[in-house]
Structure 1
Amino acid sequence: MSGLAIGFPLTESRGGTNPDVGLLYDINGLAKDAPGWLDRTMEFVGEYGIMLGLVLVALWCWWSVRRRGTAEDSVAAVAALIWTPLAAGIALLINIPIRGFVERPRPFVDHEDLEVLVVGKTDFSFVSDHSTLAMAIGAGLFIAHRRFGLAALVLAVAEGFCRVYMGVHYPTDVIGGFALGTAVTLLLAPLALALLTPLVSAIAGSRRLSWLVRSRRTGGAALVTEPLDMEGSDPGENGLAA
């Protein structure tokens, strides 16, 4: 039995009682009332712009943690930054069987009166890949550095809003993506960081590659061989690096 039959009644009309569909129309209705230039901007932002922004935030975070705090802070933060794209990739892989099991059509398949800003979407809707990817990156950056992480989380929420605004996802697709990205990043983080921290520490001790972890202007990075203790970390500005 597919997920459509057990959890997603998608045949509700705009005036129906399904809050998921009602919120879809409320948010997507903004696109109908917006000028064409705004819709084109939202299309670019929702498809590519926010993802590019998250990459830039991650690079800025990496540049910052190399130059501030202690050597141990830098090693821990860079380990978390390496984990961030890995977690995002794992979350996307996990979403493949979820989509195949649920088999939820895109909202415009059952609701022809939506304002669809991106055409050609033929895959299933639940859960949203964009939302999963954005939230996984946001959660990973929050582990590495609180302030950059908060900025990334705001971008992730904006990504989810854009997907509904564009008419290509239901709100619950977005919420499911947020949950999946967060769960994969945080639940697997202790094991991932236990493996990555010694590797990053070894890189920090290398003459040729130490700049990847610690700016040479700060005096280089000391070796850190102990795995990062997530529970014992002091919740400071640098996330797990604190």
Structure 2
Amino acid sequence: MAGLAESGSNPDVDLLYDINGLAKDAPHWFDRVVEFVGEYGLLLAMILLVLGCWWSVRRRGAEDAASSVAALVWAPLAAAVAVLVNVPIRGFVERPRPFFDHQGLEVLVSGKTDYSFVSDHATITMAMAVGLFVANRRFGVVGIGVALLEGFCRVYMGVHYPTDVVGGFALGTAVALLLSPVAMALLTPVAKAVERSPRVGWVIRARGRSYEGQGSVVSGARGERVGAEERDLAA
């Protein structure tokens, strides 16, 4: 991998220059926007997507609300696990950042001295997006779009090769999908226990939804009692 990075005649480096070259032609203010979005903004957007999906699941109060919330909890956990898995990968590959080996790049973020492969930002956003997709297809598709945009921004900013981003996407997807059955087996019972709790059940369902079924049972029982009393009076 590092050997490929040293040559400017491979597609990885060519694509790096093509995408990063857009930063040279763009206005300064636009580069500053991409810098913020690529470094912090899209990570925040992923968190807001997970929270938005949780709010939607909670308000809807469907029968599978507990399992959906469990999947949402797994999304950030998958990102954390994927980043931990990336630590030995980075140490093994030892690929320098592209601006150390290639001249003329427009580097929008300074101070990046750690290894380049694989991209933590791409790993985190894709792991969360895939975890979100497991919980809710509609929110998941939006999340995947955010992750793809994150990958583009990292190359645009001159801090990663395209293959760093692709590797991050692959790592995040693998961790989120392969460990999902185990995570769901562990998290779903916890979510169901929380759902049954009178104190914290609101985390899974809105309060009106939580007692909707119980209210119907109580109303039915009350109606039966009234009917029985009327029959006794008539007798």
Structure 1 and Structure 2 fold alike (TM over 0.5) = yes
* TM-score of the two chains, using structure 1 as the length reference: 0.86
The aligned residue for residue 121 of structure 1 is 112
* TM-score of the two chains, using structure 2 as the length reference: 0.88
* 1:197 and 2:192 are equivalent in the alignment: no
- 1:88 counterpart (79, 89, 92): 79
The aligned residue for residue 25 of structure 1 is 17
Contact kept in structure 2, 1:133 and 1:181, CA below 8 Å: yes
Contact kept in structure 2, 1:203 and 1:213, CA below 8 Å: yes
Which structure: greater helix fraction?
2
Contact kept in structure 1, 2:61 and 2:210, CA below 8 Å: no
Q: Which has the larger radius of gyration?
A: 2
- Hey, what's the Cα distance between the residues in 2 that align with 1:37 and 1:213? 42
Shift of 1:220: 4.2
Report the AA paired with residue 174 of structure 2. Answer: A
Cα-to-partner distance string for 1:169-207 (whole Å, 9 max, x where unaligned):
000000000000000000000011011111100000000
- Hey, what's the Cα distance between the residues in 2 that align with 1:208 and 1:25? 56
- Hey, what's the Cα distance between the residues in 2 that align with 1:90 and 1:112? 34
Cα-to-partner distance string for 1:48-95 (whole Å, 9 max, x where unaligned):
00001111111100000011152x321111000111111110000000
Report the AA paired with residue 21 of structure 2. Answer: G
Change (3 A) 1:33 1:88: same
Q: Secondary structure at the match of 1:132?
A: helix
- Hey, what's the Cα distance between the residues in 2 that align with 1:220 and 1:54? 31
Q: Which runs of 5+ in 1 are unaligned?
A: 223-242
The aligned residue for residue 7 of structure 2 is 12
- Hey, what's the Cα distance between the residues in 2 that align with 1:27 and 1:144? 33
Q: Secondary structure at the match of 1:9?
A: helix
- Hey, what's the Cα distance between the residues in 2 that align with 1:61 and 1:221? 22
The aligned residue for residue 133 of structure 2 is 142
Q: Secondary structure at the match of 1:119?
A: coil
Structure 1 segments (4+ residues) deviating >6 Å: none
Q: How many aligned residue pairs are there? A: 213
- 1:60 counterpart (48, 52, 56): 52
